Amino acid sequence: MIVTPKIRGFICTTAHPVGCAINTEQQINYAKKHEINGTKRVLVIGSSGGYGLAARIVGAFSCGADTVGVSFDRPSSGSRTATSGWYNNMAFEKLATRSGRMALTINGDAFSDEVKNEAIEAIRKLPGGQVDLIIYSLASPKRTDPSSGNTYSSVLKPIGSEFSGKTVDVHTGAVTEAKISPANEEEIAHTVAVMGGQDWVLWAKALYKAGVIAQNAKTVAFSYIGPTVTHAIYKDGTIGKAKEDLERGADEITELLQPLGSKAYVAVCKALVTQASSAIPVVPLYISIIYKLMKENGTHEGCIEQMVRMMQRIYTDGDIPLDEKGRIRMDDLEMSDEIQQSLNTIWSDINSDNIMEKSDLEGYRKDFYRIFGFEVDDVDYSVDVEI
């Protein structure tokens, strides 16, 4: 079948198997060049795309770890392609196995008890039957709480007052004013239930009870803070409340795992184009500008570069460098004064006419298509592929 991109809003409903495999392989090649004396057995929850996939790749190919991955992906059926995560998992498993690493993947809802139990069984199959690192990298619009059966949906809204700010339609380049009315109490609580620390804590409890966490293990979940221009919609909005709850979750897990000497950390990562971030208003415009600025001064990173640097940091010989709230700051380069001051200048006068010159919207678009295996160099998109 000839596979072409089909865009619906901020997602692409098709994925190219060859392009996804090459994307995964390119990240693997980068990871191989950065040997790290780190994890030997890692569980990655949310392992088929974005930061989770990159963390799994660094675990396997920089640290030489056996890996268990959990993701929620769809195989192909009829003329419908699989999700990009499905193809990424296939490519990862093939290359990890070829390098002599165990790579077990569970495809299902990470919020459910069943998938937690399947992950425990998979960990028991690894040598030693325990993991020394757990990466929590879920980004989901919905969660069903297994104990109550209630389903929660997350929203991306401001809290307290209406938000109004610049946003871009990444496909047309039109810069407009987005207006978003504030969330009500229920929407805030539901967003926290989906993207906060509750499920991370449930994972830690289940794994601990099953005895599959090694002594001195670490667990890391990902957060974002960002600049003032996105605060109303991110840090001070519903998703920010969920991220605050992730920090509460980290404290709860560290206390729970105290007998093992294990610790939970929140890592604040860089804003990057992923399926999750493209759904957030305002953020794509911000990302397009910092892409340009960070590429120009040589500090631009993608998910794989971020995850290599994070693993180097958490497996340093000394104490892990943390901020005043105990977080790992992988957004240090993005948040540097130089980048943020230039951003503020550009932000105030960017518009539909000058966006191509003042931002790297082209780079944003390319990265967006690449998530789904399109616009990857050396792929001939005119030939039939097995989906």
> Can you give the binding site for ligand NAD, defined by CB under 6 A?
46-52, 70-73, 85, 109-111, 137-140, 222-224, 269, 271-272, 274-277
CB of 47 to ligand NAD, least distance (A): 6
For ligand NAD, the closer CB: 1 or 94:
94
Q: Which residue's C-beta sits nearest to ligand NAD? A: 50
Min dist. Cβ of residue 275 to ligand NAD (A): 4
What one-letter code names the amino acid at 216?
N
Residue 307, token pair as written in the block: 């995850």
266 vs 248: CA distance, rounded Å: 10
Q: Classify residue 383 as exposed, middle or buried by CB count within 10 Å of its CB (0-12, 13-18, 19+).
A: exposed
Which residue, 94, 123, 119, 105, is CA-closest to 28? 94
DSSP state for residue 109 in the 8-state scheme: -
Tell me the C-alpha distance between 56 and 37, whole Å.
Answer: 15
Active-site entry in 30, 234, 286, 364:
234
Cβ nearer to ligand NAD, comparing 217 with 271: 271
CA dihedral 192, 145, 275, 297 (to 10 degrees): 40
Note if 234 is an active site residue. yes
Shortest spacing between CB 364 and ligand NAD, in angstroms = 12
Instruction: Please spell the DSSP secondary structure of 42-73, one letter per residue.
Output: EEEES-SSHHHHHHHHHHHHTS--EEEEEE--
Three-state DSSP state, 372: coil
d(CA 108, CA 98): 25
Chain-centre distance of CA 221, in angstroms? 9
Q: Quick one: 82 or 139, whose CB is closer to ligand NAD? A: 139
Q: Helix (H) and strand (E) counts for the chain?
A: 13, 13
Cβ nearer to ligand NAD, comparing 1 with 146: 146
Of 217 and 269, CB closest to ligand NAD: 269
| Residues annotated as catalytic (active site), given as ranges | 234
